[in-house]
């Protein structure tokens, strides 16, 4: 997976018409769909896991192992956030996590 980030100055965004904002939203969603497809193509090629397996040991975690890893690392992550981020940063992090969850729940362009 290759994450892409689209950032735009609030004043620029607010200066766009509703139709222009819709075009930007559609383009961003299209990019997500295309990048997921491209990632699948790369993964199936010799540049993906198959190619890596020729050069190293690849350990694929089961969903249960991923959940266990998430549970084990969450307290460390939360402690880091509490010690190093201010209130606004924590708020933005929570917003980011919410938006990631929403994006992951809708794999197709609406």
Report the pLDDT value the prediction gives residue 1, as an integer from 0 to 100: 53
Q: Over the stretch 37-92, which tens digit does the pLDDT of each residue have?
A: 888 888 788 788 888 888 999 888 898 999 999 899 999 988 998 899 999 999 99
Q: How confident is the model at residue 23 (pLDDT cuts 50, 70, 90)?
A: very high
Same domain? 53 vs 10: yes
H runs (alpha helix) in 8-86: 10-15, 18-44, 49-55, 63-84
Question: In whole angstroms, how far apart are CA 68 and each of 61, 64, 89?
Answer: 10, 6, 27
**Three-state DSSP class for residue 6:** coil
Report the pLDDT value the prediction gives residue 107, as an integer from 0 to 100: 62
Number of independent structural domains in the chain: 2
State the residue range of the domain holding 67: 61-110
Same domain? 5 vs 53: yes
Q: Which of 36, 57, 78 is the last residue of a domain?
A: 57
Report the pLDDT value the prediction gives residue 38, as an integer from 0 to 100: 84
Report the pLDDT value the prediction gives residue 24, as an integer from 0 to 100: 94
Same domain? 42 vs 67: no
Instruction: State the CB neighbour count (10 A cutoff) for residue 88.
Output: 8
Report the pLDDT value the prediction gives residue 100, as an integer from 0 to 100: 82
Same domain? 52 vs 18: yes
């Amino acid at each position: 997976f290759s994450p892409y980030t689209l950032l735009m100055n609030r004043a620029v965004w607010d200066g766009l018409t509703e139709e222009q904002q819709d075009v930007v939203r559609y383009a961003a969603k299209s990019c997500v769909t295309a990048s997921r497809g491209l990632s699948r193509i790369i993964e199936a090629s010799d540049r993906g896991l198959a190619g890596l397996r020729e050069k190293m040991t690849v350990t694929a975690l089961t969903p249960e192992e991923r959940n266990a890893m998430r549970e084990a690392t969450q307290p460390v992550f939360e402690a880091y956030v509490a010690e190093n981020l201010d209130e606004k940063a924590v708020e933005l992090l929570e917003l980011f996590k919410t938006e990631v969850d929403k994006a992951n729940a809708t794999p197709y362009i609406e």
